[in-house]
């Protein structure tokens, strides 16, 4: 299933707009998104679980800033000339 493909720690960090180090710290504390170690040493994340984790984080200052930045990039790519107040 395409939506349930596995991502490496680097890809998961990019998906969540964080760092691999942050994900590693969260894993060591028993927090963060669910992960899998199919061969005992590689850490992989399911895309669907990352999406669910991201959605469950709720609005935070960091998440809100991130979402605004993504929206601004999309508008810039579309050639929008809207100026923010």
Give the model confidence (pLDDT) of 14-49 as tens digits: 999 899 999 999 999 999 999 999 988 999 999 999
The C-alpha atoms of residue 79 and residue 20 are separated, in whole angstroms, by 33
The topology under which CATH files domain 2-58 is Multidrug-efflux Transporter Regulator; Chain: A; Domain 2 (1.10.1660)
Tell whether pTM > 0.75.
Answer: no
Residue 3 has pLDDT above 70, yes or no: no
Residue ranges covered by each domain of the chain? 2-58
Q: Where are the alpha helices (DSSP H) in 17-60?
A: 20-28, 47-56
- pLDDT band of residue 70 (cuts 50, 70, 90) is confident
- As a whole number, the mean pLDDT across the chain is 82
């Amino acid at each position: 299933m395409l939506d349930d493909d596995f991502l490496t720690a680097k890809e998961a960090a990019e998906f969540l707009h964080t760092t691999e180090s942050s994900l590693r710290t969260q894993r060591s504390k028993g927090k963060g998104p669910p992960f899998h170690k199919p061969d005992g040493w590689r850490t992989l994340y399911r895309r669907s679980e990352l999406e669910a984790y991201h959605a469950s984080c709720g609005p935070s200052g960091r998440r809100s800033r991130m979402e605004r930045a993504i929206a601004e990039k999309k508008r810039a790519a579309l050639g929008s000339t809207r100026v923010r107040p």
